[in-house]
Structure 1
């Protein structure tokens, strides 16, 4: 039978602005999926990275080795890997707020060259196979726990710095990198062009590279490259996200990160428009397929921090008329 597991980060907005954002939206199919589904899980996992780790077999680990998975995907050799992605940090009152940056490939190369010169002989080597994905290869395994970068855009980082046995050392490395990049000539050129300086990196993605991944889905569809990395690592058929659902053949994992990217930019208008397009392209055909029996079951996983929910729907849910749809707000 055909089963669909649908993962949507950032579907639930904070209550203080949800009503205004959704006031003009018409989302009948999505509202039915939420209202008529049986809640099977509340809370954990709270992020896309944690959800993917569980969906791809990491039952006992909080996170899969995302840095090692990405390094293989990006053509780097095996090793002890940590993501060291470029970021901007700016002081806002008493908070240090993290923002995204978009360096060019040449800027990424030059930054990593400077970092490697500074940390030469310390068992650390930086790589930038992709302008937005930088990696740090280490001579020894890590003794820290980190927070995934995608969870932190627009957030104060003071309370989410690495923890663990080696945390003090990595806090020092973090500070040294900031001092090095602050005075880098590339940043002077970026600021002259009106671009945000790249004044730090964010360490994340640690995990045991020997952990075995597995995928119980026959096909995976997503607009998020991290999902593609997991699919490639498990030799699972992957297709890029389409504006319209193309049907299910067997078990299908759908991961839609369109709302997440809009929320990271703080663009509620784009968030609302993306949700309206999802209603037409996915929610409506999925509901119709469940109603007609083309799909036996839908698991809808909404990732929203501690308010995360997982809903289970079978065909009988489409007949549960007493479960009246409620507005997302």
Structure 2
């Protein structure tokens, strides 16, 4: 749904993005029928909603485009710039630097591929990260960029040079051959050379030697992603009154937009008691739990999380739709279909609610 369409909906509209929402449906035929849950609220939404082919490939782009953060369709989503702007309380008006995450990772080299096995960003202690970053900065002291450690432990580069580079977010590349996802653009040869040198530095680093001695994984490379400048914010383009979810990027986006952020984990009754609908008209929500488990290709865990979302997310939304507390819902996922449903459609009792298996054959 377009930004103008969202703004025209009036009171109490929810835009909900749930990546990998439908990814497991096509595999349901392979498991016993008695193990397939009845998710009446989600099934009602998928059965009675109007569908559009205007989905998003990832929640970074969905968050930016649906909330009013202006980004180019042809360039990276500047995830790093948004995160650093939030942390340092800076904006595009006061800072024009180029930012890019440089996430410490483990690579596995096979005969004809290099697989990104794991990120070590949360596994490294601050002392280890600081020492490794210092070693890299010292080695590249004459280069026009600096490697930094954010308050939440993220590694990022910043430079006054606006590099021409297209990168891929790390969640897309995890457990895959990295070759199709390497940085591309006018400056890609420069950065590939830099990364090759960093890999040699990491091999000899005292930090990695000690980690291996203690049976811990060693940093073998850095994965560059989320490149770009801090995006400009125009108040007239902001589409929402509040952002709801439980991930750092959404929280950073709310600070950049200067609108409230609510955590669902800390407010389990937020949707059930309906108070949020008395305070806010246009609500943007993100839940990435299905995406996190689907990266491990675990169908049963995907189903378990779907059952939790049925209780905590879809059932309260459908109940409030039927009561008129919510006027309409736009349900997005990382495939082409978007589902639009309003109160009248939710209450269309004569329209049958399909089972998950029957829905899987239609989607």
Q: Same fold (TM over 0.5)?
A: yes
Give the match for residue 295 of structure 1.
Answer: 326
Q: Does 1:121 align with 2:121?
A: no
For 1:220, the equivalent position in structure 2 comes to 243
Question: What is the CA-CA distance between 1:119 and the residue it aligns to?
Answer: 0.8
The alignment partner of 1:198 has SS state of coil
CA contact (8 A) 1:6 1:254 kept: yes
Partner in structure 1 of residue 81 of structure 2: 68
Relative distance call for 1:105 and 1:175 in structure 2 (3 A) is same
- 2:128 matched to which residue of 1? 107
| 1:170 to 1:218, Cα distance in 2 relative to 1, 3 A | same
Q: What is the aligned partner in structure 2 of residue 57 from structure 1?
A: 68
What aligned pairs does 1:244-323 form with structure 2 within 5 A after superposition? 244-246=269-271, 247=274, 248=277, 249-303=280-334, 307-320=335-348, 321-323=350-352
1:42/1:33 CA distance change after superposition, 3 Å: same
Aligned length: 325
* CA spacing shift, 1:193–1:274, aligned 2, 3 Å: farther
Structure whose CA Rg is larger: 2
How many Å separate the matches in 1 of 2:207 and 2:86?
28
Equivalent residue in structure 1 for 2:107, among 89, 107, 114: 89
Q: By percentage of residues, which structure has more strand?
A: 1
- Offset of 1:104 from its aligned partner? 1.5
Q: 1:220 to 1:210 in 2, by over 3 A?
A: closer
Contact 1:147 1:160 in 2 (8 A): yes
Query: How far does residue 270 in structure 1 lie from its aligned partner after superposition?
Result: 3.5
Q: Give the one of 161, 173, 181 matched to 2:194.
A: 173
With normalisation by structure 1, the TM-score equals: 0.90
Who is 1:10 aligned against?
Answer: 20
Q: Where does 1:129-168 land on structure 2 (aligned, <5 Å)?
A: 129-130=150-151, 132-168=153-189
Contact 1:103-1:131 within 8 A present in 2 as well: no
Change (3 A) 1:210 1:72: closer
Aligned residue number for residue 238 of structure 1? 261
Range with greater deviation from structure 2 (92-101 or 309-318): 92-101
TM-aligned CA distance change 1:148 to 1:20, over 3 Å: same
In structure 2, stretches of 5+ residues that fail to align are 1-10
Under a length normalisation based on structure 2, what TM-score does the superposition of the two structures give?
Answer: 0.82
Q: Secondary structure at the match of 2:150?
A: strand
Deviations 1:255-306 (A, max 9, x none): 1111122223444443332221111111111111111111100000012xxx
Give, in angstroms, the shift of residue 69 of structure 1: 1.3
What's the Cα RMSD here? 2.3
Aligned partners of 1:31 and 1:128: how far apart in 2? 44
Gapped regions of structure 1 (runs ≥ 5): none
Q: CA deviation at 1:187?
A: 1.8
Residue 9 of structure 1 aligns to a residue whose secondary structure is coil
- For the 8 Å contact 1:223–1:258, the answer to whether it is kept is no
Moved more, 212-221 or 173-182: 212-221
